[in-house]
Amino acid sequence: MGRYVIRRLIQAIPVLFGATLLIFCIVFALPGDPIAALFGDKRPDPAIAEVLREQYHLNDPLLLQYWYYISGVLFRGDFGVNFADVPVSQIMAGKFQVTLNLALTALVMEAVIGVGLGLWAALRRGKATDTMILASTLLFISVPTLVTGFVLQLLLGVKLKQWTGADIFPVAGTFAGWRSYLLPGFVLAGTSIAYLTRLTRTSLAETLRADYIRTATAKGLSRRRVVGRHGLRNALIPLVTFLGADLGNLMGGAVITETIFNLQGIGNQLFQSVYLREQPVVVGIVTILVLIYILANLVVDMLYALLDPRIRYE
């Protein structure tokens, strides 16, 4: 088991290198001049642009630029600076904090609400509850995050406070501690909750039809034990797979939610940095995201073994 984990982690190293080089090349290939972008709608002073290009090694060939970057990371733990000379490590530390809070809030909501509703629907299959849950998930899947975000922000953030004076859901920012993440977490999790509900329902409904469930029931086990221990545990494998893969999406793909709720997170930063062609920032963030994907997948694989004793890793 331990050796399996170590092997997986060693395998991650070339993946990480490949990812950095690939992203570095992609950002390099983007059209437009990053120095000119700093000057907005004015043409930059050529003399100043020249000094800046020299300073950020932009005149050097791609591979040399990559070497400057990767040698800094490997030998000095230095992730470089953006075009305002702010260290990328400082930017990443601050923004990942926010994004991680948001993603985990969303993940917990997904797991609790999604699995909960799915379980409920599966046990009431074909009844009114089931139909209602299915219909509402359809609604959630079809309404874009942009809409749910703005509507919930206006209703629960602005209007609720104006009408009742109660400041339960902050409109924006992270000033109210964990409460700040409830609304954006829910908005971000919205679509995934709906998918997970449907997945849980289907997976559990199928498992509950299996022979060993009938056996368990026939043995006289309580319904709670039959559903929980024998049904849900076996139905969990696709759900865990979904949640593991979703963590990566939640971390990197929260641009809209982060913008609406003014969370200074990684999605937003990535968007801006790609726009400004800040190679070190983009590469740094994407590398960490790749790392998170790899770790999340590893955890998922470990959980498989935990859930189903027949799965073994050697």
Partner 1 sequence: MRVTKGAQIVAGTALLALAVAACGGGASDSGGTAAGGGDTTPVRMEIGEPQELLVPQNTTETEGSEVLAALFSPLVGYDENKQPVEEAAESVTTEDSKVWTIKLKSGYTWHDGTAVTAADYARAWNYAALQDNAMSASYFFGRIDGYEDVHPGEGKKPSAKEMKGLKVVDDLTLEVTLAAPFSQFKTMLGYTAFYPLPESAIGPDGKVTQAYGEQPIGQGLFKLDKPYKKGTDATIEASVYDKFPGKKPSNWTKLQFKVYTSAETAYNDLQAENLDVDDSLPPSAIASAKAALGDRYFDEPDASIGYIGVPLKYNPDFQDVQVRRAISLAIDRKTIAETVFSGTRAPADDFINPAIPGYRQGACDACTYNPAEAKKLYDEAGGPKNIEVGYNADGGHKEWIEAVANNLRANLGIEVTPKPFEKFQGILDALDGKEYKGLFRMGWAIDYPAAENYLSPIFGTGAIESGSNYGGYSNKEFDELIKKGDQATDAAEGLKFYQQADDILIKELPYIPVYFYRSNFGHSTKVKNVKLNLLNQIDWADVEKA
Site for partner 1, residues 230 to 259, rule: CB under 8 A: 258-259
Only segment of 12-20, 41-49, 60-68, 110-118 that touches partner 1 (CB under 8 A):
41-49
175 binds partner 1 (CB under 8 A): yes
Taking the least distance from each CB to partner 1, the nearer of 32 and 228 is 32
Q: Are 246 and 107 in contact (CB under 8 A)?
A: yes
Q: Are 114 and 193 in contact (CB under 8 A)?
A: yes
Q: Are 134 and 126 in contact (CB under 8 A)?
A: no
Question: How deeply is 42 buried, as exposed, middle or buried, from its count of CB atoms within 10 A (0-12, 13-18, 19+)?
Answer: exposed
166 binds partner 1 (CB under 8 A): no
Taking the least distance from each CB to partner 1, the nearer of 103 and 235 is 103
27 binds partner 1 (CB under 8 A): no
Taking the least distance from each CB to partner 1, the nearer of 21 and 295 is 295
Across the strands, what pairs with 87?
A: 81
Identity of the residue numbered 203: S
Smallest gap from Cβ 287 to partner 1, in A, equals 16
172 binds partner 1 (CB under 8 A): yes
List helix spans (H) across the chain: 2-29, 34-38, 46-55, 62-76, 88-109, 115-123, 128-142, 145-152, 160-164, 182-208, 211-218, 223-225, 233-252, 255-260, 266-276, 279-307
74 binds partner 1 (CB under 8 A): no
CA distance 178 to 250: 17
Smallest gap from Cβ 218 to partner 1, in A, equals 26
132 binds partner 1 (CB under 8 A): no
Residues 101-120 that bind partner 1 (CB under 8 A): 101, 104
171 binds partner 1 (CB under 8 A): yes
Under 8 Å CB-to-CB from 91, ≥6 apart: which residues? 82, 269, 281, 284
Across the strands, what pairs with 306?
A: none
Smallest gap from Cβ 92 to partner 1, in A, equals 8
Token couple for 41? 């709608």
# binding residues, partner 1 (CB under 8 A): 75
**Could you say which of 100, 123, 134, 182 contacts partner 1 (CB under 8 A)?**
100
Under 8 Å CB-to-CB from 57, ≥6 apart: which residues? 64, 65, 68
Residues 263-302 that bind partner 1 (CB under 8 A): 264, 268-269, 275, 295, 298-299, 302
Smallest gap from Cβ 129 to partner 1, in A, equals 32
50 binds partner 1 (CB under 8 A): yes
151 binds partner 1 (CB under 8 A): no
Token couple for 70? 């990767």
CA distance 254 to 259: 8
58 binds partner 1 (CB under 8 A): no
52 binds partner 1 (CB under 8 A): yes
**Could you say which of 18, 25, 39, 74 contacts partner 1 (CB under 8 A)?**
39
5-10: long-range contacts, CB 8 A cutoff, minimum separation 24: 5/298, 5/302, 8/294, 8/298, 8/301, 9/298
**Could you say which of 137, 145, 180, 197 contacts partner 1 (CB under 8 A)?**
180
223 binds partner 1 (CB under 8 A): no
Smallest gap from Cβ 229 to partner 1, in A, equals 16
